[in-house]
Amino acid sequence: MEKIQESSVFMENKNLIDLEVLSTEQIDKIIRKAKKIMQKPSEYRHSCDGKILATLFYEPSTRTQMSFQTAMLKLGGRTIGFDNPMNSSVSKGENLKDTITIIGGYADIIAIRHPAEGTAMASSLYAGVPVINCGDGGHLHPTQTLTDIVTLSCEKGRLDNLKIGICGDLLNGRTVHSLIKTLAKYDNNSFVLISTKELSVPLYIIDILEKNGCKYELSNSLAESVKDLDVLYMTRIQRERFASEEEYETQKNVFVLDKEKLSKAKDDMIILHPLPRVNEITVDIDDDPRALYFKQAQYGMYGRMALILLLLQDEEFFIKSKKTEVCEHKCKNPNCITANEPYLPHLCYEKKGMTMCDFCDKRIY
Ligand code: CP
């Protein structure tokens, strides 16, 4: 294995690929900044004058794309980008490296969503400007987690000592994985993981909970588990990640939060959802004071404003990367970006004696 050069673009840029590499101090710094912006937004309206954000969305989005665009506009900057790669030269076969290299020459910061795991990380190798991961397949969605923790901090007043129920598609829900990884770093959080057996959290997430000494339980009953939660985080079943429609049909509508189940919850429990909602929360709950999912999306915009400012302007806000090396073996995960972009270097890191792909975090050998 040879070391990646210290001087590579990858090492020098500040990117947000995975919240896991941030310390709790860095996370708290983003939250503090978001709260300051919320209190006096007018003070920040020229903070990014002359700066350009590129939003490259290879997958559909409402909230993440538009909240990033709004965030940059509110900071005085401008935006470019696409929300359908088929309207760009991707439709002519342009590879990721070329697209990102070109856009890195136009924009000051890039926000990217892509169906392949590890795409934001791959983009960071070529962009020359900070890259923000807006969702890479079923892997991670760190700015949704930022949205969630800004909401928790504002609405519960803390990120520790919480009993958090997470319900729905815990296998494919990238927001779930990012949220658990982040909240596991804070003291005395416990988790109730509510799902069918088929859609339970991946083992690597259980490993993280155990490594951090977090209490957790697996449940298949929302009605039973809702009673003593501080936070209920509902998620939709990720239809687009299923191999067949038949498989999806067996999983949809298994867990639905309705008025009857909510009547068993604590008065100060809050309901979050990354959205979009499909059927998993009935619409008649929207007016319940505990239903905070629409407010949550607004908090997300302030979190993204804070993140853009810290990545572009705060020299001390250095987001470190993992210790990466070049490996002779290729990642075997068919959903990894390396499966479709063969020129990418085989980057890996060591974890508990195993060699992990640096793009998708799956085991290589
Ligand atoms: N929560 C979320 O990522 O929403 P969008 O898919 O609409 O961006």
Q: Check residue 8 and give its pLDDT.
A: 42
Six-digit token pair at 179?
């949220």
User: Are 304 and 167 within one domain?
Assistant: no
User: Are 98 and 184 within one domain?
Assistant: no
Pocket test for ligand 1, best of 144, 172, 179 (most atoms within 8 A of CB): 144
User: Residue 1 pLDDT > 60, yes or no?
Assistant: no
Pocket test for ligand 1, best of 146, 177, 275, 299 (most atoms within 8 A of CB): 275
Residue 161 three-state SS: coil
Report residue 94 CA to chain centroid gap. 26
User: Are 282 and 306 within one domain?
Assistant: no
Give the position, in ligand 1's atom list, of the atom nearest the Cα of 60: 6
Question: Domain for residue 172, yes or no?
Answer: yes
Ligand 1 pocket (Cβ < 6 Å) reads 61-65, 144, 274-276
Residue 265 three-state SS: coil
**CA 178 to ligand 1 centroid distance, Å:** 14
Distances in Å between the alpha carbon of 51 and those of 48, 76, 129, 274?
5, 8, 12, 28
Question: Domain for residue 328, yes or no?
Answer: no
**Residue 139 contacts residue 174 (beta carbons within 8 Å):** yes
Question: Domain for residue 148, yes or no?
Answer: yes
**CA 238 to ligand 1 centroid distance, Å:** 12
User: Residue 20 pLDDT > 70, yes or no?
Assistant: yes
Last residue of a domain, one of 239, 267, 297: 297
User: Residue 193 pLDDT > 60, yes or no?
Assistant: yes
Give the DSSP per-residue string, 8-23: SHHHHS--BS-GGGS-
**Residue 282 contacts residue 118 (beta carbons within 8 Å):** no
Give the position, in ligand 1's atom list, of the atom nearest the Cα of 274: 1
**Domain count for the chain:** 2
User: Are 30 and 167 within one domain?
Assistant: no
The band of 13, judged by pLDDT with boundaries at 50, 70 and 90, is low
**CA 164 to ligand 1 centroid distance, Å:** 21
Q: Check residue 21 and give its pLDDT.
A: 86
- Supply the mean pLDDT for the chain: 93
CA pair distance 193, 158, nearest whole angstrom? 21
Six-digit token pair at 190?
């416990």
Give the position, in ligand 1's atom list, of the atom nearest the Cα of 64: 8
Question: Domain for residue 326, yes or no?
Answer: no
User: Are 214 and 81 within one domain?
Assistant: no
User: Are 39 and 68 within one domain?
Assistant: yes
**CA 272 to ligand 1 centroid distance, Å:** 13
User: Are 261 and 303 within one domain?
Assistant: no
Question: Domain for residue 347, yes or no?
Answer: no
User: Are 136 and 146 within one domain?
Assistant: no
CA pair distance 10, 133, nearest whole angstrom? 14
CA pair distance 312, 111, nearest whole angstrom? 13
Range of the domain at 86: 2-141+299-313
CA pair distance 26, 19, nearest whole angstrom? 10
List pLDDT tens digits, range 88-125: 999 999 999 999 999 999 999 999 999 999 999 999 99
Six-digit token pair at 123?
């983009």
Task: Give the Cβ contact number of residue 204 at 10 Å.
Answer: 14
Q: Please state the pTM of the whole predicted model.
A: 0.92
Six-digit token pair at 83?
């929300």
Q: Check residue 242 and give its pLDDT.
A: 86
List pLDDT tens digits, range 262-304: 999 999 999 999 999 999 999 999 999 999 999 999 999 999 9
Q: Check residue 9 and give its pLDDT.
A: 39
CATH number at residue 309: 3.40.50.1370
Question: Domain for residue 113, yes or no?
Answer: yes
User: Are 238 and 96 within one domain?
Assistant: no
**CA 200 to ligand 1 centroid distance, Å:** 21
Last residue of a domain, one of 240, 269, 297: 297
DSSP β-ladder status, 325-326 and 347-351:
antiparallel
Last residue of a domain, one of 241, 273, 297: 297
Question: Domain for residue 333, yes or no?
Answer: no
Six-digit token pair at 98?
């070329």
User: Are 305 and 292 within one domain?
Assistant: no
Residue 121 main-chain phi, psi, to 5 deg = -60, -45
User: Are 133 and 148 within one domain?
Assistant: no
User: Are 121 and 203 within one domain?
Assistant: no
Question: Domain for residue 337, yes or no?
Answer: no
Six-digit token pair at 133?
């991961």
Pocket test for ligand 1, best of 58, 61, 114, 147 (most atoms within 8 A of CB): 61
SS3 of 295-359: HHHHHHHHHHHHHHHHHHHCCCCCCCCCCCEECCCCCCCCCEHHHCCCCCCCEEEEECCEEEECC
Task: Give the Cβ contact number of residue 43 at 10 Å.
Answer: 10
User: Residue 3 pLDDT > 90, yes or no?
Assistant: no
